[in-house]
Structure 1
Amino acid sequence: MNAPSLIDLGLRPFFQQQLSLEELETCSLGRIIEHHKSEVVILGDAGILRYHIPPNFDPICVGDWLLFNNDRLVRVLERQSLFQRKAAGSARERQLIAANLDTVFIVSSLNDDFSLNRIERYLALAKETGVEPVIILTKADLCSEAESIRQQVQQLDSLLSVYCVNSLDNEDISLLKGYCQRGKTVAFMGSSGVGKSTLVNGLLGQNEMETGGIREQDSKGRHTTTYRAIKWLPEGGLLMDTPGMRELQLSDAKEGIKLTFADIESLAEQCRFSDCQHQNEPGCAVLNAIETGELSTRRLENFQKLLREEAHNSATLAQKRAKDRAFSKMVNSVQDQARSAKKY
């Protein structure tokens, strides 16, 4: 295709309104299409450019819009949406995953790796950011119970779009192309080995992404995507492939969790006590729904688990932010004292 315009890249009034007249005259605007450890690849009117990320620059990720000039990155524009998670392990850090998405394809394979709990976790993240989630269940050609499993996922939310696909079947791939129109950005998210790269190749119409098999003994896959990057789609949209995530820790996602489990939230409003914990309290509408079969024990337990995890991670990150602010304040105070001493 011809060199893309900023509109092709997803530019819209939300981003344009953030630019001053001076910035429009002195800077260029582009979007991050690749993010490596110490540098980014930016695509804009001037084509593809590489920039080293300067020390102390605001955290950035694939999908961000950046202002830059000939010498340096200037600033990152406010995001319309941001996927982030608590960094894997015990680190008190956030990891930015992707910015300014329109749709997220949540991919799960129809093998032993399938998990409603994991899908709910991804849904909570999507709903927190306000991005449209679409569930894609892969390896449908290898599963005799694909439709039954699809209905299980559909029961999580009657308005949710859920597809069972064979990633090597062009007809199945065509079902997803409506989400990939000009100026729209879609991303694939899911565990390793669920078939994301095969789906990417299908939408691209060529074998651009390396694919890998799964271990038969446990249906686990290997990472075939090692960094986040945006690819062009024949329909004119932008597709972001992300590495498989072995761990997706939620933080600052309480609203997303509540939206994902809106049925439980609605039931909880009918409980006799406003502070009901849904354990053994009398008049608990949630426990009554479990007894009648309206609600599964699995779903309630996962809801409670995600709320506990989110509260713990959010508190941990808040403590780190407070500690960082106190340290910065101390450094600034010492520097001010040093400058004052030099005057005398």
Structure 2
Amino acid sequence: MHFELLQPLGWQPYFQQQLTLEEWERDRPARIVDYQRSVITVDTGEERIALPVSMSLPAMTVGDWVLLDADGRFLRCFTRSSLFARKAPGTAQRAQLVAANIDTVFIVCSLNQDYSLNRIERYLALAHEAGVEPVVVLSKADLCTDDVEARVAEVQALGAQLPVVAVNGLDASSVAALAPWCSAGRTVALMGSSGVGKSTLVNALVGAAVQRTAGIREDDDEGRHTTTSRSLHRIPGGGVLLDTPGMRELQLADCEQGVEDAFADIAALAQRCRFGDCSHRSEPGCAVLAAVEREEMDERRLANYHKLLREQAQNASSVAEKRAQARAQGKRNRYAMKIKNRRD
């Protein structure tokens, strides 16, 4: 296996170090480029191989690196450099893997009625928790009736070093502004709610119609959701791009540090609060509330901070409780079976 075949898939020294010399010479690394309900598609740099989904395989997702033997059989999954996960949609109390081994995430938010600072902060918390560089991409700049530069400045205020780029996904010269994050060996993910123009951006970055797109609905200014699966695409110039379905039920779980990092300004002010366990709600001597009163901090931002912390704590607790209940039920079932076997 040659390095030049794997680098276009995002191969990096971090994964190389996980191989023995014998494995490098005998086996084949491959990256999951498409994950469907019954089949996983991996790319070795020379060919694509379909692996049937089975209970014997570990939990994996698009972007994972796996090791195959010479016959294309699964051996193991590489240790991840990063992982995005979320609480599964609906009532299921479990975590859902979203994407692995991502270097940069493009948080896509359109400049029409979908524009929401609260939603951007939610994605920033996920990115920080995963240890992935976030870049906010404000799409559909051509449809924005407000001052685009003012919107960009408003989003940049969410983080001192936060890159923010406004683009028109239908204009190649506009999308070219994202090229610095798409260099050889780098993996970029697109995340955002339905209809914000992710598929259009994918097609523009890849240079081909790899994702189906749909127009804007005139009645509510919303785009139609078109992407239904997660998949990897090579970008001309060497990068790799991962597209994900719109996350209509994106919820945080086990993401407290990510929330704290996304609201670093609040964390910094908290160091000056009178009480070390200040909740920044009504305590005397709260430096955060004082900043809000002086209009140095937006009250909306503090309210969203509290909301996201509550949400992640509730979801983390419910997932842990569900797992504990499952373990307890398993013990009861095994005990009942043991008693039954004794009677028999």
Q: Normalising by structure 1, what TM-score?
A: 0.92
- Number of aligned residue pairs: give it: 341
Aligned-pair distance for 1:251?
Answer: 0.7
Within the candidate set 206, 209, 212, 2:208 is matched to: 206
Aligned-pair distance for 1:334?
Answer: 8.4
1:164 aligns with 2:166: yes
Structure 2 residue matching 1:286: 3-state secondary structure: helix
Query: Partner residue of 1:91?
Result: 92
Q: Which amino acid aligns with 1:246?
A: R
Query: Partner residue of 1:106?
Result: 107
Q: Which amino acid aligns with 1:109?
A: S
Q: Which amino acid aligns with 2:12?
A: R
Query: Partner residue of 1:152?
Result: 154
Change in 2 beyond 3 A, CA 1:6/1:149: same
Q: How many Å separate the matches in 2 of 1:312 and 1:95?
A: 16
Query: Partner residue of 1:242?
Result: 244
Query: Partner residue of 1:263?
Result: 265
Q: Which amino acid aligns with 2:320?
A: A
Equivalent residues of 2:8, 2:234 under 8 A apart: no
What CA deviation, in whole Å up to 9, does each residue of 1:92-148 have, x standing for no partner? 111111100111000000011100000000000001111110001011112132111
Query: Partner residue of 1:141?
Result: 142
Within the candidate set 299, 303, 309, 2:311 is matched to: 309
Query: Partner residue of 1:182?
Result: 184
Aligned-residue identity in percent: 50
Q: How many Å separate the matches in 2 of 1:207 and 1:79?
A: 30
Structure 1 residue matching 2:97: 3-state secondary structure: strand
Query: Partner residue of 2:126?
Result: 125
Q: How many Å separate the matches in 2 of 1:337 and 1:16?
A: 51
Aligned-pair distance for 1:270?
Answer: 1.1
Query: Partner residue of 2:276?
Result: 274
Aligned-pair distance for 1:268?
Answer: 1.4
Q: Which amino acid aligns with 2:224?
A: R
Equivalent residues of 2:9, 2:234 under 8 A apart: no
Aligned-pair distance for 1:335?
Answer: 8.9
Structure 2 unpaired stretches of 5+: none
RMSD: 2.6
* Mean CA deviation greater in 142-151 or 130-139: 142-151
* Mean CA deviation greater in 10-19 or 321-330: 321-330
Aligned-pair distance for 1:25?
Answer: 5.7
What CA deviation, in whole Å up to 9, does each residue of 1:176-228 have, x standing for no partner? 11111111110111011111111111112222321112223323332211101
1:74 aligns with 2:70: no
Structure 1 unpaired stretches of 5+: none
Q: How many Å separate the matches in 2 of 1:328 and 1:24?
A: 41
Equivalent residues of 2:129, 2:258 under 8 A apart: yes
Structure 2 residue matching 1:107: 3-state secondary structure: strand
Aligned-pair distance for 1:73?
Answer: 2.1
Q: Which amino acid aligns with 1:272?
A: R
Query: Partner residue of 2:16?
Result: 16
Q: How many Å separate the matches in 2 of 1:316 and 1:113?
A: 30
Q: How many Å separate the matches in 2 of 1:328 and 1:186?
A: 40
What CA deviation, in whole Å up to 9, does each residue of 1:251-299 have, x standing for no partner? 1111110000011111112111222222222211111101111111100
Q: Normalising by structure 2, what TM-score?
A: 0.92
Change in 2 beyond 3 A, CA 1:45/1:194: closer
Change in 2 beyond 3 A, CA 1:113/1:273: same
Q: Which amino acid aligns with 2:308?
A: L
Q: How many Å separate the matches in 1 of 2:225 and 2:164?
A: 24
Q: How many Å separate the matches in 2 of 1:6 and 1:154?
A: 35
